Structure 1
Amino acid sequence: MHESGGIVFVKKKLLNIAFLVIVFALTLWSVLYGQDLDQLVLYLADYNKWFLIPSLICVLIFILGESAIFYIMFKAVGIQVKKLHCALFSFVGFFYCAITPSASGGQPMQLLAMHKVGIPAAIGTVILAVVTITYKMVLVILGAVVLIIRPASVMAYLEPTMWLVYLGMALNVVFIVLLLFVVFRPGIVERFAGWCLRTINRFRPFKDLQKQQERIDRFCAQYAGTSTFIATHGLLIAKVFLITVVQRWALFVVTWLTYAAFSLGFDYFWLTTTLQGMISVAVDMLPLPGGMGVSENMFLVIFRDIFGPDKVLAGMVVSRGLSYYIQLLICAVMTIVASFVFKSEAKKRNVGITA
């Protein structure tokens, strides 16, 4: 049984990697087809390498911002966790989010890592639920503010891709509403999901309807306690939200730093970061690893007149390369480190239990 479960896990990882490679290849083709690569190399040579330092700092702020959230939240519930472990939780989470569709693989792997250092699954799930809600909420609020106020400078650049922005907003709102219902009104979700299962079963019978219902029950049950936590930790939730705003915006700043690094000036800070934020709104819930393909092509359309038609491709390569591909590489390396650290921690705990 254990072996079959392990085989399934390995197969899923291989499928995710294969899917990632295919999407990456299609992304390269869609972005570079018909482009003058020699000219691209020349424009990349104009990039001021000193801007790599603040850009990488922003990437690390994005990753480790979540670590700070983990640390203060675990501390609030009386669990002492090493700062190193919190950092590794974040690296693991962002790595698996980056290689799985709709960023679906991050939290299960974080929960597994937390289990290895002795954090109860019930508490880990509550913490991750709060992180997810605030993480998505920041994007939804940004999107809502832009779409309600409709600043002319921003809307002019977004106009060609507005259908993607609306789609992304809709998907994010549906996800947050569903998650809030699971947290605050789990009974409604269970009854609705049960009705959906029974309806589907009439037209296409499940092999085991009861097993499907139990999966839904387990999904809802794992968020038990989250509503109480949110209700009794209002100030903490506010802190988490503010950290998440800084965390999210740090990654958007990479685009502005890229703009400045090509000697295009230091203006357009709010415009470039807001536009990059709206790209995130559009792609965050798409069933593509890291929004790959869509993010790159949206950048080329939205930032064409800001970077200029000659430099926009080079700008995209650097900005996206730092904010996603370099981030993925850093998190991949640290995930390997985490596997050894957490394996060692798990062995220590087992020794302690059996002694």
Structure 2
Amino acid sequence: MKKNRRVIFNGAFLIIVFVLTIYGVFHGEDLGAMMDAIRSADKRWLVPGLALVAFFIWGESIIIWYMMRSYGIKLKKRTCFLFSSVGFFFSCITPSASGGQPMQAYYMKKKNISIPVSAVILMIITITYKLVLVVVGIGVAVFGRGFLHQYLEGILPVFYLGLGLNIFCVTFMTILVFHPLLARSFLVWGLSILEKFRILRHKEGRLKKLEESMDTYRDTAAYLKTHPRVIVNIIAITFVQRMAMFAVTWFVYKAFSLSGTGFWTVLFLQAVISVSVDMLPLPGGMGISETLFLTIFTPVFGTLLLPGMVLSRGLGYYGELLISALFTIVAQLTIGQGHGKDNKESYE
């Protein structure tokens, strides 16, 4: 019953945010002119853009496959692609992308991959995923002062807020991983405060569950310390993966036969949007992503700003959602129906 209520809430929240986004973006706009502009776009440039979205999903599957092998677990790459698709699909439709990793762990369990192993792998993916955003954001803030004032003057508070939240998240997760005793003390203190102010009701088993969850962080720390080369390779793959997604907007730009703005400028403008919205409690950054695009890409797309946003967002978010949804269905049909030994692949 509780699970059904959560599904209903997430579904209703997604629909409400989607409707508000559509209204906010298109209210008062000339939709006929927008559609004419989209139809006139050179679709040949959109094909590689969509391919980059698929590459983005595939990139995480390679990380999963690579880390599984370091654990002595041999999985087919197509199976890891299904794990990746499941993660992206549920991340796209849940607030703060909170549903992706629990569902990945569920499907991994169907392949007889233990929860502690999947938890460590998904934890490291999360850390490296956000670490790349932090590095890009800090790089833009420190070395791109002219870039900031030329393109981002109107959204600097949102950019710095997003960057700060990502820095806090990476720092906090790193503390959890490398200083589990300090993390435990902090979490126990926080739990006591929440119970004292009756935000949470006191439960005897809650502290025990909290202590058990700390095992994941200790296991993650052990993995990071004993596999430094693997971690470096994962960061490199993640960097390429994220840059590929940011580059989608450039192909949309070229589809309209526009010129005057360089590839890296378009890429980093899109990166700024990701840095800004990644930690916000909205499914896929819906609403705020469109608003930021319409603000910072004005000098890039000019009169084609709205059609550019529709195609860029259509490929980058809705294209990702569609591709991952299709392969999530495949995952449910091929993995989700499996049980136990019948669904086991190869272990060393």
Is the 8 Å Cα contact of residues 201 and 209 (structure 1) preserved in structure 2?
no
Q: 1:345 aligns with which of 329, 338, 344?
A: 338
More displaced, 224-233 or 201-210? 201-210
Kindly report the root-mean-square deviation, in angstroms, between the aligned alpha carbons of the 2 structures: 1.7
Distance 1:155 1:216, change over 3 A: farther
- Residues in 2 aligned to 1:154 and 1:59: alpha-carbon distance in whole angstroms: 27
Is the 8 Å Cα contact of residues 161 and 298 (structure 1) preserved in structure 2?
yes
* TM-score, L = length of structure 2: 0.95
Q: Which runs of 4+ in 1 moved over 3 A?
A: 347-352
Q: 1:73 aligns with which of 67, 70, 73?
A: 67
Give aligned pairs, total.
345
Residue 305 of structure 1 is matched in structure 2 by 299
Shift of 1:345: 3.3
Is the 8 Å Cα contact of residues 188 and 207 (structure 2) preserved in structure 1?
yes
Q: Does 1:287 align with 2:281?
A: yes
- Residues in 2 aligned to 1:304 and 1:351: alpha-carbon distance in whole angstroms: 52
Q: Secondary structure at the match of 1:45?
A: helix
Residue 324 of structure 1 is matched in structure 2 by 317
Residue 227 of structure 1 is matched in structure 2 by 221
Q: Give the AA of the match of 2:4.
A: V
Distance 1:15 1:72, change over 3 A: same
Distance 1:205 1:23, change over 3 A: closer
Distance 1:125 1:351, change over 3 A: closer
- Residues in 1 aligned to 2:120 and 2:34: alpha-carbon distance in whole angstroms: 47
Q: Does 1:19 align with 2:13?
A: yes
More displaced, 291-300 or 325-334? 325-334
Is the 8 Å Cα contact of residues 261 and 300 (structure 2) preserved in structure 1?
no
Q: Does 1:61 align with 2:44?
A: no
Q: Secondary structure at the match of 1:263?
A: coil
Shift of 1:206: 4.2
Distance 1:126 1:48, change over 3 A: same
Is the 8 Å Cα contact of residues 252 and 312 (structure 2) preserved in structure 1?
yes
Q: 1:198 aligns with which of 192, 202, 205?
A: 192
- Give matches, 1:240-279, under 5 Å: 240-265=234-259, 267-279=261-273
Distance 1:271 1:205, change over 3 A: closer
For each residue in 1:139-171, what CA deviation from the matched residue of structure 2 results, as whole angstroms up to 9, or x when unmatched?
000000111113413431111001111110111
- Give matches, 1:175-214, under 5 Å: 175-204=169-198, 206-214=200-208
Shift of 1:61: 0.8
Q: 2:149 aligns with which of 150, 155, 161?
A: 155
For each residue in 1:98-145, what CA deviation from the matched residue of structure 2 results, as whole angstroms up to 9, or x when unmatched?
111111111111011111001111111111111111000000000001
Q: Secondary structure at the match of 1:345?
A: coil
Q: Give the AA of the match of 2:50.
A: L
Shift of 1:240: 0.5
Distance 1:27 1:107, change over 3 A: same
**Structure 2, unaligned runs of 5 or more:** none
Is the 8 Å Cα contact of residues 112 and 340 (structure 2) preserved in structure 1?
no
Distance 1:334 1:262, change over 3 A: same
Is the 8 Å Cα contact of residues 154 and 275 (structure 1) preserved in structure 2?
no
Q: Secondary structure at the match of 2:129?
A: helix
Higher RCO (CA-CA < 8 Å; seq separation 6+): 2
Shift of 1:265: 2.9
For each residue in 1:312-341, what CA deviation from the matched residue of structure 2 results, as whole angstroms up to 9, or x when unmatched?
000000000000012101111111110111
* Identity percentage of aligned residues: 43
Is the 8 Å Cα contact of residues 154 and 271 (structure 1) preserved in structure 2?
no
Shift of 1:221: 2.2
Is the 8 Å Cα contact of residues 260 and 266 (structure 1) preserved in structure 2?
no
Q: Give the AA of the match of 1:71.
A: W
Q: 1:142 aligns with which of 124, 136, 139?
A: 136
Distance 1:315 1:212, change over 3 A: same
Q: Secondary structure at the match of 2:63?
A: helix
Residue 79 of structure 2 is matched in structure 1 by 85
For each residue in 1:17-73, what CA deviation from the matched residue of structure 2 results, as whole angstroms up to 9, or x when unmatched?
111110000000110011111111111122111112101110011000001111111
- Residues in 2 aligned to 1:45 and 1:161: alpha-carbon distance in whole angstroms: 30
Is the 8 Å Cα contact of residues 101 and 287 (structure 1) preserved in structure 2?
yes
Residue 4 of structure 1 is matched in structure 2 by none
- Residues in 2 aligned to 1:112 and 1:122: alpha-carbon distance in whole angstroms: 12
Is the 8 Å Cα contact of residues 250 and 267 (structure 2) preserved in structure 1?
yes
Q: Give the AA of the match of 2:334.
A: V
Residue 3 of structure 1 is matched in structure 2 by none
